């Protein structure tokens, strides 16, 4: 009888250990972890996130997180200088502060973290990741502010992505820094641009990165557009999925690259007209921002 109990206890402990190990293995195989690994690898490969430049945050459903983690097991609490009560209880997977995107694919657990915004909104609870004692990106407040702003406009928004897209960054040194001027140029460089971001792109002057000031300014612009250009720094993009958000930045960056070629070839001689844009909008059933047309547009 004693031997039987001992054996049963042994198997119970073995099963528990196997279960715990399977959770550790499964989280790396979770779709949201794989998406973060893939997008950070692509951002690094394209040269948009050198060294530890750039950051990504992904809003997760609690039910999905619970498939891979014990959400009652808080590893540690990390304070933040920002009131995030609007997102209290929300889960995110976020790139870490000072982490190199090129290293995410080899060690996701060290370079990424799954966090939950604390009840009081002044901290986040770490549920997985940052295994070397790290913390979320220093621009976490800017991300959370942008999530709050975008969720007010689109309840399905899940992604906020920041990178140093090369040609967009270069344009901030040579191009007029207004939303209308920047949007018009990008729209005109590639027919698909207005279809992909009909609301246009918003522009901020240079502000200190990682500060609440730039986070608040970005969030305010995010109410009007999913793309916000940080002068002399990079770009912020938001979307419902990782593909949508990456593709949004990718399309704007391609247009900026074409603009660079056009300028090198002697500048614009002919381009897409307002009439062309109106026809395009009708064809694809979109409503572009009328503020960015040269002449007043009454209906599309």
Which tens digits make up the pLDDT trace of 43-63? 999 999 999 999 999 999 999
Position 210 scores a pLDDT of 85
287 token code pair = 């409503």
Is the same domain home to 34 and 89? yes
Position 13 scores a pLDDT of 57
Evaluate whether residue 20 is within a structural domain: no
Cβ contact 189:255 at 8 Å: yes
Is the same domain home to 166 and 262? yes
Return the active site residues: 139
Cβ contact 195:280 at 8 Å: yes
Position 294 scores a pLDDT of 79
Is the same domain home to 106 and 180? no
Nearest to 169 by CA among 247, 58, 259, 288: 259
Per the structure, the count of domains in the chain is 2
Is the same domain home to 167 and 287? yes
88 token code pair = 């209290």
Is the same domain home to 134 and 30? yes
131 token code pair = 């295994």
Q: Quote the pTM value.
A: 0.88
Residue 164, marked binder: yes
Of 106, 138, 170, the residue that ends a domain is 138
Of 86, 105, 138, the residue that ends a domain is 138
Evaluate whether residue 37 is within a structural domain: yes
Evaluate whether residue 59 is within a structural domain: yes
Is the same domain home to 176 and 85? no
Evaluate whether residue 1 is within a structural domain: no
Cβ contact 252:161 at 8 Å: no
Evaluate whether residue 3 is within a structural domain: no
Is the same domain home to 126 and 207? no
Evaluate whether residue 153 is within a structural domain: no
Regions of the chain short of the pLDDT cut 70: 1-25, 295-300
Domain limits at 169? 161-292
Mode of pairing for the β-strands spanning 112-117 and 123-129: antiparallel
The CB-side HSE value for 214 (13 A sphere, CA atoms) comes to 23
Position 10 scores a pLDDT of 43
Cβ contact 82:141 at 8 Å: yes
Evaluate whether residue 72 is within a structural domain: yes
* Helix-helix angle 242-264:166-174, to 10 degrees: 50
Is the same domain home to 38 and 124? yes
Is the same domain home to 105 and 46? yes
Is the same domain home to 282 and 172? yes
Is the same domain home to 165 and 288? yes
The CATH number assigned to the domain holding 37 equals: 3.40.225.10
Evaluate whether residue 156 is within a structural domain: no
Is the same domain home to 171 and 267? yes
């Amino acid at each position: 009888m004693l031997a039987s109990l001992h054996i049963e206890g042994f198997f119970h402990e073995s099963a528990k250990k196997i279960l715990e190990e399977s959770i550790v293995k499964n989280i790396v195989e979770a779709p949201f972890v794989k998406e973060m690994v893939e997008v950070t690898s692509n951002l690094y490969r394209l040269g948009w996130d050198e060294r530890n430049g750039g950051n990504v945050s992904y809003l997760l459903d609690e039910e999905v997180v619970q498939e891979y983690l014990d959400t009652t097991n808080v590893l540690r609490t990390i304070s933040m200088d920002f009131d995030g009560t609007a997102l209290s209880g929300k889960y995110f997977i976020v790139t870490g502060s000072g982490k190199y995107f090129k290293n995410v694919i080899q060690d996701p657990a060290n370079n990424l973290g799954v966090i939950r915004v604390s009840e009081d909104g002044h901290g986040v609870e770490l549920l997985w990741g940052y295994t070397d004692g790290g913390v979320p990106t220093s621009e976490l407040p800017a991300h959370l502010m942008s999530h709050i702003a975008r969720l007010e406009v689109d309840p399905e928004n899940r992604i906020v992505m920041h990178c140093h897209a090369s040609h967009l960054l270069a344009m901030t040194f040579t191009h007029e820094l207004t939303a209308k001027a920047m949007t018009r140029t990008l729209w005109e460089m590639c027919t698909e641009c207005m279809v992909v971001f009909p609301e246009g792109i918003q522009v901020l002057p240079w502000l200190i990165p990682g500060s609440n000031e730039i986070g608040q300014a970005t969030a305010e612009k995010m109410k009007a557009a999913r793309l916000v250009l940080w002068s002399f720094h990079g770009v912020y993009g938001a979307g419902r999925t990782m593909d949508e958000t990456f593709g949004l930045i990718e399309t704007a960056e391609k247009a900026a690259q074409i603009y660079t070629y056009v300028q090198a070839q002697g500048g614009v001689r002919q381009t897409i007209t307002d009439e062309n844009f109106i026809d395009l909008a009708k064809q694809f059933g979109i409503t572009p921002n009328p503020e960015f047309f040269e002449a007043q547009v009454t209906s599309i």
